[in-house]
Amino acid sequence: MITWPAVIKYEGDDELSFIHSQAEWDQDADSHLLSFAEGDVLIDSEGCLFNLNNAYDNGNTPLQSQETLSLSALTELVRKHASVVGQCCSAKIAFITYRDAIQSIKDVE
């Protein structure tokens, strides 16, 4: 089960996409029409990883993997994202919780 909010990490891309809730995921046509690559993952607010490349009823249903991302690895992804979107001083970014890290993506959009 996904703990919202969450972000999508696209394979080979440093920019992250923020997803606020299950309702937003369900209503966002792009999420269901995209053909996700094998390396694309959804990262939830507890650091759990979900694979996105499984098609289901003309859409995509996140499938929980057995892996979790460390908070330091998530922080590094957020730093790269911040750099891509032009936020200065991204090296100084730090978080205490996964939820704070995920929420920061929304804050810089």
The pLDDT of residue 27 is 85
Residue 86 lies in a domain: yes
Report the predicted TM-score, pTM, of the whole model to 2 decimal places.
Answer: 0.89
Q: Which domain holds residue 42?
A: 6-108
Neighbour tally for 108: CB within 10 Å: 16
The pLDDT of residue 77 is 96
- The fraction of the chain above a pLDDT of 90, given in percent, is 62
The pLDDT of residue 88 is 75
Residue 40 lies in a domain: yes
Residue 91 pLDDT class (50, 70, 90 cuts): confident
The beta strands (E) that lie in the chain are given as: 6-9, 16-19, 41-44, 48-51, 55-56, 59-60, 63-68
Average pLDDT of the residues in 27-40: 74
Residue 70 pLDDT class (50, 70, 90 cuts): very high
Q: Which of 78, 5, 76, 79 is nearest to 42 (CA)?
A: 5
- Total domains in the fold of the chain: 1
Residue 77 lies in a domain: yes
Residue 1 lies in a domain: no
Residue pair 83/29 in contact (Cβ under 8 Å)? The answer is no
Whether pLDDT at 89 is above 60: yes
CA–CA distance, 12 with 107 (Å, rounded to integer): 23
Residue 12 lies in a domain: yes
CA–CA distance, 93 with 109 (Å, rounded to integer): 16
CA–CA distance, 32 with 70 (Å, rounded to integer): 28
Residue 83 lies in a domain: yes
Whether pLDDT at 31 is above 70: no
